Structure formats: structure tokens, C-alpha cells
Structure 1
């Protein structure tokens, strides 16, 4: 802690002009009364990381969303977590100058981090269990999304949930949580990931490239799907999911706004876009047009869910994504981002380690 007291700057991955970024000195974030400051030990990479660099271009902001580390400072209103505890969480990288995961230190609201049970997960594993888990929880349990039964309660096992893109990070966590909640899960994936998604609790999995996949899903589920999550939400996947919904319609959660063609296909399906960053409780702008106000209800829902995370992890009810460890720490991030841009990641998370536990100060 003494080293931190004498420092004003840290190393961070920062967006620069011209769709570029650099590892450079950046001010260590100042925390508010309800925040914690965390020394980042490991981070996980997401598609949004390179997309923020290439698209949003918020110059001067810190890149990176998913992190794991140890608490080095607490705001005056924070009682838990304690100093030195292993915690994990997510930020909205590429948006704020004072918050982003790809840095030596990250600040976060104390109620939006979870304490990692001692001896259960490594920092690398814990780093994978944040934005993806919270997106899945927002999709499944928020009353304005699917509004399904949330653990420890369970549904009666008669309802199907369709999760398109089951091997994605969000898909893997959505499968686990839906299964834990007592729902039957039908999902799509590449054949080489079939065993992975089955091991996470999927009851049925089909190749999304199969031209008969919609008819196959309808047969397997008795044409009864009322709840669905499209983790990809492209023009084509939205239409596929809309067609796969059951005869009585239902709710389809999207990662991006619905397309006109998908909505036209099914008037009996409610298309609901969701964005996990609304749970962080800060207003933000996404692109030139989309402005988001602070959403206290979204934050409260995720804060409530995160209180359960330690037990879910300790009991082995939710397991982390498979890891592709990328050597080289922060300096290797440009290479890892390009690897993901090139579409080479499937069924796993790229993770980097920034420091050893003993180096935290």
C-alpha cells in the first residue's frame, strides 16, 4: 500500500487518435466513498475490447472490461470487501478515462464486485466470470428481460430456453444458469463445441450451420420455446431465433437492437435488446447517437445477483470459461486483440496476467 500512496500514474492500455491504442502512463483512478480500488492481477479479453478501439474511438479512455485482482483502497462507506481480498468484476472499457480493466489499477463500485472464495479459482479463471456472467444474469432474471426463476429457486423443468451461440462466453454462462434454474436448454454451436455445451447443462445442441436447424429445434422442443437469448444478434441470427420460437411466441433477448426483418417475421415475439453496461450505474454514450442514462434498477439487479456469486462458485454450480493463457502480460495485448479480430477464438477466453499476487501493493 505504501507504493500506491507515492504514485499518481499507472500503466494502462489507452485509446488514441486514428483507431489506435498505446500502453502508456495514465492517472491512477480516484475512488469515491462507495468504491474500491483494485490492483489488477489478471484480465480476460472480449470482442468488445477491440470493437471499442475500432468503432467508438473514445480517445483517452482505458480499454478492457473483465478483471480480477486484490483490493488496495476502500471508500469511507465500504465495509466489504476487505483490504487485500481477492475480488473480480467488470468495467465498461473504452468509455471512461477513470475506469477500464487493462490497467495496473481499476476502480469499481463495491457492490458490483464479488469476493472470490479462497483456493477455488485462480485470478485468470476469476477474470472470465464477470461481464459474461452478468450479461447472462441480466438476460435471464431481470424482470424487464426474460424474468425467469432465479437460484436458489427452481422452475418445474417443463419450460425450454433457447440460447443461440452456446459456446460464446455469455452463452456458456446462460446455459449454466438456466440449467441451474430448472429450465431445459436447447442451444446452437459448432460441432467441435457440442461436448463443451453439454457438459455445462445443455439438454440439446444443434449445428447453427445446419439448414434444417430451425425445424430441428422446433421438433426437439415441441414447438414450445417462449424464452430465448441470441448471444450474437446479427441480422441472420435474429431471424433464425425468431423462426425457432414456439407457436405461442414469447421473448427474445438481443445483444444489439432488433432488425426490421426479424420483427416483421414474428409479431408475437417481443424483441428486447439488453446491454450489461447499464448495470454499472453510470450514464454513457455509445457511438454518435445512442445515449444511455443511469439505470438504478439494472444496477440493483446485478448487485443482488453478485451477492450469490461466491456460493455459486464455491459449490461448483457455475464454472469459468476455458482459458487460453496469453504470455507477455499487458505488453502482449495488441497481439491478442488482433488474434481475436481475425476470428480465431472459439469456446475459450484469452487471459493475461499483469502481476504476481506477491507484487500487489
Structure 2
């Protein structure tokens, strides 16, 4: 294969015919092109016929149903923070098996706030890791999470939610990832963890008055920005020194996540596309502040 920078395209009767009768969602149309070679694939040419910088013309299979861009820019924009947070919470703090080396001995892992953007990604990653994800959510989001891989869901508004989870897991739950991180969700998670104790990790600083109600549970929280390997110069508990190990782990982790996305084994969170570009973002931030955005991620196209 050759990677080319396309400088010009030409149209053919086949183009309108394919668009009208054979268009496949996610595929890219067009056949004739001319441009410049920017990369020559391994094994493409053993005679030296092609080299970077060559001016070439050629044809491709336009609207090829086997070569589709299955995800839009808007959907892709929803992934970054969630994948970064799951890296730290699931695979560094909780030390769970990675998706590229799934376990043969599955265990339960609770995702509190399963319908959040991070929660839906976490559920899918746990499934790929060979684990048994369970999640809390509102009843209307239950089927969505089960479709993503959750083996069971529980209504977080139920006063017996924690005990219901403990009963379902036969008192064996030892790992919890809290994507909501409120005192009430932490208390519910602590109740769900079995009598052997376990590990609890959250996305924000934890409520200390809940943290020490169980000495057999180790509580921690993640600062996602540490993955860059630089100091996180924020005040209070959010500050972090430079974490070179986090950057090294992130280099490995994002390559694994990229493969999962390419193979369509990791789906994006449901999105809500809003118009207005940059000028409308302040309204979206206010809606987030007021808790008015549920089970979806706000996306603003800029072009």
C-alpha cells in the first residue's frame, strides 16, 4: 500500500451511481485521484519503483463497504478523557488484567455511574479484560450498559443498592471504580464490597468521613492529567509531582486502546451534537454544572 497526499480528484459516472444506489454509511466516496507519495508500505515494492515524493495518479475503490470510517470526528472526540481515566483507575490503581492479556479467572468489578462517559468505556474495557462488569445506573440506561457488556445493573437510587450488589456478587466484590464520587455513592460502594474488603478508586478526592468507616477497604482516587509525565501544578489535593511512570504506562495503554477502537471492540459514549461551535460552549458548561447532562456527552463541531 502507498499513503498519498491527494492533490486533485476527478469525477466519474460511477460516483453518482454508487452514491445513489450503493452508499454504505461510514465509507468514503471517490475513485480517480492524483497526488504525492508520503509513505511506502512494507513489501509494497521490492524494485524501488515508488519513493516518497513521487507524483502519482491512480484509482481506489470508492464507497467500499469493507473499508469504512465507522466513527465520526464527533464520536471520536468523546473518547480521550475516559480512556485516560480508565488507564489510571482500572489498570494502575486496581491493577486489573489488561485487555491485551485477558484473565482466565474472572472477578466482579463494580462501576458506579455506569452511564457516564467514563463508565461506558470502563464497562467495555472490563469485558475485554475477561472480567465481570456490573454497574449502577438509572433503569432507563440499564439495557444500554448491558449491550456494552455489563452482566447486571442496579438502580443507584434504591436505598438497598449496595446490599443488592453484595448479594448478587455472593459477597465476593473486591474492586470498585466510582465515576460519580459523591459521599452517597462512596457509601453505597463500601456497602457493596464483600466482607473480605477490597479496593475503591474514584475520579475525584474521596470523602474522608466515609473512607475510614471500613479499614478493610483501600480508597484512592486518580488524577488523569498525570499521564503526561509533567507536574500537575494545581492547588490542594489535586496537585501532583511529575510522574514519569505514568507517561510510560500511557504510551503502552493508548496503543492498546487504539487497537480496540480500530477493531470496533470499543464503542464511543452516546453523544449530543450541539450547534454554535466555540460560542456555545459556555452554555454546555453551565448545563454540566447544574447536572442537566445525563448519559450523553456534549459535542461541538468546529468545522
Would you call these one fold, judging by a TM-score over 0.5?
yes
Q: Structure 2 CA distance, aligned partners of 1:177 and 1:133?
A: 9
Written as runs of structure 1 = structure 2, the 5 A alignment for 1:1-361 is 119-142=69-92, 145-287=93-235, 290-355=238-303
Would you say the 8 A contact 2:198–2:216 is kept in 1? yes
SS at match of 1:265: coil
Q: Structure 2 CA distance, aligned partners of 1:309 and 1:289?
A: 29
Quote how far apart the aligned CAs of 1:118 are. 7.2
Q: Structure 1 CA distance, aligned partners of 2:286 and 2:212?
A: 37
Quote how far apart the aligned CAs of 1:290 are. 4.6
TM-score (norm 2): 0.75
Deviations 1:62-92 (A, max 9, x none): xxxxxxxxxxxxxxxxxxxx99xxxxxxxxx
Q: Structure 2 CA distance, aligned partners of 1:134 and 1:224?
A: 28
Aligned partner of 1:46 in structure 2 is none
Quote how far apart the aligned CAs of 1:157 are. 4.7
Q: Structure 1 CA distance, aligned partners of 2:148 and 2:111?
A: 13
Quote how far apart the aligned CAs of 1:288 are. 5.2
Quote how far apart the aligned CAs of 1:233 are. 1.3
Would you say the 8 A contact 1:169–1:347 is kept in 2? yes
Q: Structure 2 CA distance, aligned partners of 1:273 and 1:193?
A: 25
Would you say the 8 A contact 1:239–1:261 is kept in 2? no
Q: Structure 1 CA distance, aligned partners of 2:262 and 2:140?
A: 29
CA gap of 1:118–1:308, structure 2 versus 1, over 3 A, is farther
Q: Structure 1 CA distance, aligned partners of 2:95 and 2:72?
A: 32
Q: Structure 2 CA distance, aligned partners of 1:292 and 1:264?
A: 23
Structure 1 spans left out of the alignment, 5+ residues: 1-81, 84-116, 356-361
Q: Structure 2 CA distance, aligned partners of 1:126 and 1:250?
A: 34
Quote how far apart the aligned CAs of 1:273 are. 1.3
The structure carrying a bigger strand percent of its residues is 1
| Alignment size in residue pairs | 239
Q: Structure 2 CA distance, aligned partners of 1:208 and 1:310?
A: 32
Please report the RMSD computed on the Cα atoms of aligned residues, expressed in angstroms.
1.8
Quote how far apart the aligned CAs of 1:160 are. 0.3
Structure 2 spans left out of the alignment, 5+ residues: 1-37, 40-66
Higher relative contact order, structure no. (Cα contacts within 8 Å, ≥ 6 residues apart): 1
Q: Structure 2 CA distance, aligned partners of 1:222 and 1:317?
A: 29
TM-score (norm 1): 0.63
